[in-house]
Structure 1
Amino acid sequence: MHKPVNHWMNAIQVGFTIVGTVIGAGFASGQEILQFFVAFGKQGLWGLFLASLLFGVLTHLVVVTAAELRVRSHLELLMRTTSGWMARAVDGMLLCFLVISTALMLTGAGTVLEQHSGFNRMLGTVLAALIVVLVASGPSTSVVRFNVILVPVLIVTLCGLGGKALGQALKYSHVPTWKAAVNPYVTHWWMAALIHPAYNIFLAMSGLSSISGSVSPRSGVLGAWLGSGIIALLLVCVSLALWIAGPDIHRYPVPTLVVAQQTHPWLGWASILSMLAAMLTTAVVNVYGMARRLAEEVPWRHSWLTAAIVALSLPLSYFEFVVIVGTAYSAIGYIALVFFGYWLLKLAIPSQPR
């Protein structure tokens, strides 16, 4: 009688961890959604549909495979699903990219605090770094609980923005889509729709591999589709809110916060908290996954590894927030597309017996 309860609880925990990992600074701020979907106007609606499907497929691929193989790190997952040379190459790139991603989360937290409370940006970045080290130094259960606590705040806030925007869209009898200057590295809507889920799941692979390896495959399946379903819903909510706000919204580094504050002061404060939650949950899972991976090579305590990883990320936080989203993530996305394409092709073509 207890197995179904534990089974569903594990699935919910996995799903919320997926959401907390994927929705970080770029997503929750609206910058990713603006550059990869909203900027393409009506074509961005098709992009949302395609990206939502791909989120489900790639999340299922990573989470369920990790659960079936009972892996402890992303390198073990890579070694058992791809060729040796590719596993090592992707491992090295993923570790480098995760440091960049962690820096983006930390600088995003500092940017939010500076823009909306007058808090010193670098001081806010350091404070976020300390929280990440504290949580990521614990066991996987601490990381999961951190996501389970904070992710609902994020979901409710972004759904609130989307619900308000939907009400306004119904008055127009359509979604008033508009176009803006697109990301120079991603100039077609269909390419943006492929790259966005690819780089998000690629970067999430380290943390999700470490956490999913300890759950049952069935919990992994349910958790993967629950998480990707929530992500798809939030993609639509943020896109609607930005389209309703009008083309001038692209001038702001954190557009969702501007929309929230224009809607209602309380929603503005809720958005600030949810934004910080999104950045912290992503950074925590990133750092935890990297520490689990590096523990296979470096004979340090887990807490020392987490502190070293965060310390390495801090200097990168001096770069401009929008610049990191537009350049680094686009490059990661193209690499991720090649990697996942290879993995899916390998699954589709059965290996020949020797």
Structure 2
Amino acid sequence: MQSIQWLAMLQVGFTYIGTIVGAGFASGQEIFQFVTRYGSKSVPIIMVSVLLFILAGAKIMLIAHRIGASSYHQFNRYVFGRKAGLWINGFTLFTLLCTTGVMLAGSGALFAQQLGGFYQIGIIGTALLVYLITSRGMQAIMAVNTLVVPLMLGFTILIGIHTFLMNGTASFSLTEPSPVSGWALAPFLYVAFNLSLALAVLVPLGSAIRDPRVLVGGSIIGGMGLGILLLLSNYALLVHGPDIAQAEVPMAMVVVPLGPLVQWLFSLVILAEIFTTLVGNVFGLARQLQTLPQFRAEPRMLIAGLLMVCYVISQFGFSTLVHHLYPLFGYLGAGTLLMIFLVRQKPTG
């Protein structure tokens, strides 16, 4: 296989990872809600999640590639039909708006908790950077992810190795959370929630890449990369469970033993990962709204308007939004995940 094809696969895989690893994932809040709180069941949850990420991610991008869909609006109409697709598009729009508000809140919380700044400055500064990158299109988004995701993988591996050297596995029996029922549904809800949001990036990505093999390879790289991040982050959270359960940004607390420099650098990496998902969400929202007659505004004005709406949502606070919205969106997104697996090839007209 040509080296240029491998590079394209890596770009697709890193963009996939960067789209999933947003404020909830990178901060540890999302992992704790869907994975870590189930204790010893967290590893099988991760294994099933990785398989679902690979299979569903590949299918989404291949469908988008085949039908030439440039936005999730076209994708949902193909998968669900014209009438049901309208409802699903409305749900996706609402979910993307809310979670983009969560991402902005996460950037503010991290900026205040770990970098000693002000919550509002963190939110506004992040929004301005998102505006600058999103207005430059898909190539800029892929370039940002190709830079940021390897840094995130490297830091997470460092945290996992350090946690293991300091604690081993003996601490599991002391810090494992109290058993929680419903763990068997957790991987499906977790992947359903994330992929219902990732449609905003995976669909235009699938139609932009010419070779389907690149999409399949990128999905495998993305799923495996997410698995590594999940396993190592979950391990660190299990070990430190009692100390970080109430933290706004649990993963930032996990790196405290590594010293102030690493803590500060990791906070920057989390901010960068939040940024990659924000960019993808806003790009997908803008693409969707541009297909509607009532939103035929100049793209940069549309992006600015979306960021202002998400700024209002961010004022409700980060952990509160994650705790209440993410599980709900997981249940609502389960239907989307099911239909993605059930859909058969049909005419695109």
Provide TM-score, normalisation by structure 2. Answer: 0.93
- Asked if structure 1 preserves the Cα contact closer than 8 Å seen for 2:49 and 2:188, the reply is yes
| Shift in Å, 1:114 | 0.5
1:57 to 47, 55, 59: 55
Q: How far did residue 149 of structure 1 move?
A: 1.5
Q: Could you tell me which amino acid in structure 2 is paired with residue 204 of structure 1?
A: A
AA partner of residue 242 (structure 2): P
Cα deviation for residue 209 of structure 1 reads: 0.9
Which stretches of structure 1, 4 residues or longer, exceed 4 Å deviation after superposition?
173-177
Check 1:18–1:205 CA distance in 2 against 1; reply closer, same or farther (3 A cut).
same
Which deviations, in whole Å up to 9, do the C-alpha atoms of 1:272-331 show, x marking residues without a partner?
Answer: 011101110000011111111111122222212111111111101111211111211111
CA distance in 2, matches of 1:248, 1:168: 16
Distance 1:328 1:22 in 2: 16
Which of 218, 223, 245 is the matching residue for 1:223?
218
Structure 1 equivalent of residue 301 of structure 2: 304
Distance 1:23 1:171, change over 3 A: closer
Alpha carbons of structure 1 residues 111 and 174: separation in structure 2 relative to 1, 3 Å: closer
What CA deviation, in whole Å up to 9, does each residue of 1:160-215 have, x standing for no partner? 11222233454639786601486xxxx41111221111101111111221122110
Q: Does 1:44 align with 2:42?
A: yes
Distance in 1 (CA, whole Å) between partners of 2:57 and 2:223 is 7
Question: Superposition pairs for residues 21-32 of structure 1, below 5 Å?
Answer: 21-32=19-30
User: Could you say if the C-alpha distance between residues 108 and 180 of structure 1 is closer, same or farther in structure 2, counting changes exceeding 3 Å?
Assistant: farther
Q: For residues 81-128 of structure 1, give each alpha carbon's deviation from its aligned partner in whole angstroms, at most 9, with x where no partner exists.
A: 221112111111111111111111111001001112221101210111
SS at match of 1:42: helix
Offset at 1:66?
A: 1.6
Q: Tell whether the 8 Å contact from 2:175 to 2:242 is kept in structure 1 after alignment.
A: no
2:133: which partner in 1?
Answer: 135
Aligned 1:65-84 pairs, distance under 5 A: 65-84=63-82
In 1, are the aligned partners of 2:28 and 2:233 still within 8 Å (CA)? yes
Kindly indicate whether the alpha-carbon contact (under 8 Å) linking 1:194 and 1:337 is maintained by their aligned counterparts in 2: yes
Q: What is aligned with 2:234?
A: 239
Q: Which amino acid aligns with 1:250?
A: A
Cross-structure match for 1:210: 204
> In structure 2, what is the Cα distance between the partners aligned to 1:18 and 1:345?
22
Matched residues in 1 for 2:86 and 2:164: separation?
46
SS of residue in 2 equivalent to 1:53: helix
Q: Give the TM-score normalised by the residue count of structure 1.
A: 0.91
Q: 1:181 to 1:105 in 2, by over 3 A?
A: farther
Alignment partners' CA distance in 1, 2:171 and 2:115: 37
Percent identity, aligned pairs only, is 28
- Structure 2: state its 5+ residue gaps: none
- What are the Cα deviations for residues 226-280 of structure 1, in whole angstroms up to 9, with x where unaligned? 1111001100010011112242220211111011122333321221011101110
Q: How much is the aligned-residue C-alpha RMSD, in angstroms?
A: 1.9
- Unmatched tracts of structure 1, length 5 or more: none
Residue-pair matches, total: 343
**Cα deviation, residue 27, structure 1:** 0.5
CA distance in 2, matches of 1:241, 1:28: 13
Q: Is the 8 A contact 1:60 1:221 kept in 2?
A: yes
Partner of 1:344: 341
